Amino acid sequence: MRLFRHTAISLAVAVGCAVLTPAVAAATVQSATAPCGSSAAACVSLGGQRAWLMSGGQVTYGPTPITSGKPGQRTPPGVFHVLWKDKNHRSSIFNNAPMPYSVFFTDTGIAFHEGSLKRPSAGCIHLSRSAAQTFFGKLSVGQVVQVVN
């Protein structure tokens, strides 16, 4: 009886895993879906606090966690273009604060850059160090950045 019970439990676990596998696969595919158009090279979801890199409408990197602008200094939604990049940028507005791996996409100084993922920003999109390095390395001047609510 002991061998039978062990076999039955093993079979139940195996069947349970087989049943869950499609759900896990669907969740994995959905997590790679970005809410932006096919022209976007970078996509930001303010509501989801996530960002992606894309090519031809397909996700190439992400989602990665972000923080965005706080009340009174919200990150603007819209379609923008990468204007310029500066690996070692320092803020001219916020006491020379470091903004490593900055990728600027608005004429008001909003950029992707390495920053805190625990506190909202003054409007920029904060990324982890590795994500900021990836965005800096992959995005080029002129590419489309889409920010959605």
- pLDDT tens digit string along 126-139? 999 999 999 999 99
Based on the domain organization, do 131 and 71 belong to the same domain?
yes
Residue 107: CB atoms within 10 Å = 8
For residue 75, give the nearest of 124, 136, 29 by alpha carbon.
124
| pTM to 2 decimal places | 0.79
Asked if 130 and 117 count as a contact pair (C-beta separation under 8 A), the reply is: no
Q: Count the helices and strands in the chain (H runs, E runs).
A: 2, 9
Domains identified in the chain, total number: 2
Range of the domain at 21: 1-31
Q: Do 80 and 104 sit in the same domain of this protein?
A: yes
pLDDT digits (tens, 9 = 90+) for 115-128: 999 999 999 999 99
CATH number of the CATH domain containing 69: 2.40.440.10
